[in-house]
Structure formats: C-alpha cells, structure tokens
Structure 1
C-alpha cells in the first residue's frame, strides 16, 4: 500500500545529515569560536562502542560534551568516533547517528531532539519510530516534525 511521502523519515535523515556535516567540519577544522556540543545518546543502541566501565556507569543514556578536549574525531556515513576525557582517562567512543537522542550547541541556541513514539497504523516498520523535534533555547516548546514554523523566530 502506498503511504505517500514519509516526511517524518525524510526529516529524520536530514537532521542526521546535518549532524554528520557539522562533525565532519569540526573534525577537519576544529571547533570555531565558542561552539561546543552536548550530545545525548542511548548507550544500549546497537553499534555504540564504549568502555565496559563507562557503559556500566551509564547503562541507558549518556550526555557527552565536545568542547575543550577531544581527539581522533572521525566521521563516517553511519556515525562518528571520538576520544573524550572521563576523569583524566581518555576513552575512545563510536556513536552511530541513530543512537543520538539530542544534539545541542548552546553557544548559538541550537538544538535537535529525536523522540521515539509508537505508530499503531504502521504495520510495515518497527513498532517504535523516531520523529525529529526541533527546538532552540529561545523556543522551549519542541515542534513536531511536519509542523510548519516561521524561521524568523530563530534569527537573532
């Protein structure tokens, strides 16, 4: 059955692409100015690679900070590898883009939030589907994918 255009999935792909592009630029050129990222991810997501002790400490979710010290940032089509400092101990991580639930750059009041919801009408896909939510710090109410918003409210 033809379901039409799946805008939610297209938005999901576009937002993951945006994160991929940002991290690719940071990997090549470093963080410009005051930019830094808070990235929240599901630690149990397939493909997430981290030290056992770190996963034991954060069994469901962790928020990493990419700011002052990071090394070996390498981005591929599906995710990124990075070494971060946890208690003066460098730890390599691999994070698939699909494991990310939020990506925030507070220096410019930009954030993406991907929420999982159940879609009872969807028989062909998994029970849980992610729909991207877009928000900024000046816009505390996240907007659902497919909701039309004016870009003027995001301009400074």
Structure 2
C-alpha cells in the first residue's frame, strides 16, 4: 500500500468522469436551454486529433466552444470526437479527456480547471510531490480562441473566483 492518498489524481478522474457524463447526455439529447461549453485543451497531447492547420495555428492550447453549431458528437471512454465550425468550414476534432485544461459552462457559472504542479507559481517544499492539483472555477467565462460558435465574443468575460485545494492543505 502507498504511503499517501493521491487526492489530486482522484479528483481529476472524478472531474473527467463528470465531463464524460455531461457530454454523453448532450450527445443523446442536445444542449438544453442556454447551456454551452468553453473547452480548452492541450493541442500538443499525443492523442489529440485536429487538422494540421489548427495545430499550426494553436501549437500549445486551443479553446473551442460548443454552442450553436456542432455535429457528430461521439463520446468514448478516453475522449470525445466532435465536428465544429471554423469560418464556415466544419472540422472534426478528437479531444482526450486528459488533454482538457478547462471545461466551463458560463450559462450556469460552472467550470473545472485541471492544473499540474508545473503550472503553479509556488515552489515551496510543502507542495512537492503533489502532481495534479485540480481547481474548481466559478463565474468564469473565457472567450474561445477558435470556436464552433458564431457568438463567442458576444459576451463579456467575467472575473473568475477560484477555489483552490491548497487552501485546505496543512
């Protein structure tokens, strides 16, 4: 048995399961009401599948919006595929859950952020060995860099209220 409980990875697995469950429901029933998603993912992840011109344009990360127009949403155990509209040209994407950096539904002020220790500014020894530290976001809306939505920039961004698990650590 290990010397400690890996809460960070357990939380990430639970949060990715939530994303999978939400997308499975959307694939079966469509987006209800005003719901829409801003999904930021690592375009350099080895299992991400996007067009070459998109990976050239967004070499580190890309934010996509699922709102007015999306097609062929297929949800799997390790990720999801969807076609989104980029300048009136549909493009298929495959996004593994473990490549997702943020998942935000601004219509209900809900968001998840997946961060690794490398993303944190703190270098103190207290945090050493804690690989993945998830954060839950509220009141965050990030306009997408690339989008499946025609109205991505129509709403102003709100300030984020971040609740960090570090504040509960001793």
Q: Which TM-score tier does this pair reach, normalised by the shorter chain?
A: 0.7 to 0.9
Question: 3-state SS of the aligned residue for 2:134?
Answer: strand
The residue number in structure 1 matching 2:160 is 140
The within-5 A match list for 1:6-155 is 6-118=6-118, 120-121=128-129, 129-137=131-139, 140-145=160-165
Does structure 2 retain, via aligned residues, the 8 Å contact 1:8–1:146?
no
Deviation at 1:141, TM superposition (A): 3.4
CA RMSD of aligned residues (A): 1.9
Structure whose residues are more often strand by fraction: 1
TM-score when scaled to structure 2? 0.77
> Normalised by the size of structure 1, how large is the TM-score?
0.84
Match of 2:148 in 1: none
> CA–CA distance in 2 between the matches of 1:67 and 1:121?
38
Task: Indicate if the aligned counterparts of 1:11 and 1:145 stay in contact, CA closer than 8 A.
Answer: no
Gaps of 5+ in 2: 119-126, 141-158
Which digits, 9 at most, give the CA deviation of each residue in 1:103-133, with x for residues without a partner?
00000000001111146447xxxxxx33210
Q: How many residues align?
A: 142
